[in-house]
Amino acid sequence: MEIMSLSDYIVWDGFLFFAVIAVLLLFANTLRRKIPFLRKSLLPTAVIAGFIGLLFKETLFQSIVGTEEVLEVNRYYSMITYHTIALGFIALGLKVNESFKVKTKRLQSMSSGLLIVSTYLLQGLFGLVLSLSLAYTFFPNLFKAAGMLVPMGFGQGPGQAQNIGGVYQISHGFEGGTTFGLAIASFGFLWAAVAGVVYLNYLYKKGTITKQSVQRNNYVSSQEIETPDEIPVAESIDKFTIQVSLVFLVYFITYLAMLGINEVLLTGLLGDFGINTVIPLIWGFNFIIGMLFAILFKYIFLGLRKVKIMTRQYPNNYMLNRITGFVFDIMIVASIVAIRIEDLNQLWIPFFIMVIVVGLLTLLFVQFMARRIYPDYKEAATLGMFGMLTGTASTGVVLLREVDPNFETPAANDLVMGSSTAILFGFPILLLVGIAPISLMHTLIVFGIIVVLFITASTILLKLHPKQ
The domain segmentation of the chain, as residue ranges, is: 9-96+107-207+229-464
Is 50 exceeded by the pLDDT of residue 217?
no
Q: Quick check: 104 pLDDT over 50?
A: no
The dihedral sign for the CA sequence 161, 165, 166, 168: positive
Rounded to 5°, angle at Cα 432 from 427 and 434? 100
- CA count, 13 A, side-chain hemisphere, 81: 32
pLDDT attached to residue 286: 81
Look at residue 6 and tell me whether its pLDDT is greater than 70. Answer: no
In this predicted structure, the answer to whether residue 121 has a pLDDT above a threshold of 90 is yes
How far the first Cα of the chain sits from its last, in Å, is 80
Query: Exposed, middle or buried, 344 (CB in 10 Å: 0-12/13-18/19+)?
Result: middle
DSSP 286-329: HHHHHHHHHHHHHHHHHHHHHTTSS-SB---HHHHHHHHHHHHH
* Confidence bin at 42 (pLDDT 50/70/90): low
User: Out of 7-21, 54-68, 181-195, 401-415, which region has the weakest mean confidence (pLDDT)?
Assistant: 401-415
Across residues 385-411, what is the average pLDDT? 74
Does residue 29 surpass a pLDDT of 50?
A: yes
pLDDT band at 214 (very low <50, low <70, confident <90, very high): very low
Three-class secondary structure of residue 364 per DSSP: helix
pLDDT, mean over the chain = 80
> Using the 8-state DSSP alphabet, how is residue 102 labeled?
S
What local confidence, expressed as pLDDT, does residue 213 receive? Answer: 37
Give yes or no for a contact between 426 and 117, defined as CB atoms under 8 angstroms apart.
yes
Local confidence band at 416 (pLDDT 50, 70, 90 cut-offs)? low
> Which pLDDT value is given to residue 131?
93
Q: Residues 379-396: what's their mean pLDDT?
A: 81
Residues 250 and 144: beta-carbon distance below 8 Å: no
Q: Per-residue pLDDT averaged across 183-190, rounded?
A: 82
pLDDT: is 142 or 235 the higher one?
Answer: 142
Q: Could you tell me which residues are beta bridge partners of residue 313? A: 230
pLDDT at 67 over 50: yes
Residue-level pLDDT at 448: 93
In this predicted structure, the answer to whether residue 386 has a pLDDT above a threshold of 50 is yes
Top mean pLDDT of 60-69, 78-87, 428-437, 448-457 is at: 448-457
Which of residues 18 and 39 earns the better pLDDT score? 18
pLDDT digits (tens, 9 = 90+) for 322-340: 888 888 888 888 878 877 7
How far apart CA 312 and CA 242 sit, in angstroms, is 13
Q: Using 50, 70 and 90 to split pLDDT, how confident is the model at 227?
A: low
| Portion of the chain with pLDDT greater than 70, in percent | 80
In angstroms, rounded to a whole number, what is the distance separating the alpha carbons of residues 237 and 293?
A: 24
Amino acid identity of residue 208, one-letter, is T
Q: What are phi and psi of 175, to 5 degrees?
A: -65, 120
Q: How confident is the model at residue 72 (pLDDT cuts 50, 70, 90)?
A: confident
Cα torsion 59, 64, 69, 74 to 10°: value is -20
More confident residue, 428 or 80: 80
More confident call, 47 vs 97: 47
CA distances for 203 relative to 356, 404, 458, angstroms: 22, 13, 26
Most confident of 9-13, 43-47, 275-279: 43-47
Most confident region among 21-25, 227-231, 240-244 by mean pLDDT: 21-25
DSSP 208: S
- Mean pLDDT to the nearest integer, 120-131: 93
pLDDT bin (cut points 50, 70, 90) of residue 428 is: confident
- Residue with the bigger pLDDT between 439 and 41: it is 439
Max mean pLDDT among 26-35, 174-183, 430-439 falls in 26-35
Average pLDDT for residues 161-189, to the nearest whole number?
A: 83
Mean pLDDT across the stretch 330-351? Answer: 80
| Contact criterion met (CB below 8 Å) for 165 and 193 | no
In angstroms, the Cα distances linking 415 to 65, 104, 435 are 44, 11, 29
Mean pLDDT, range 220-248, rounded to an integer: 71
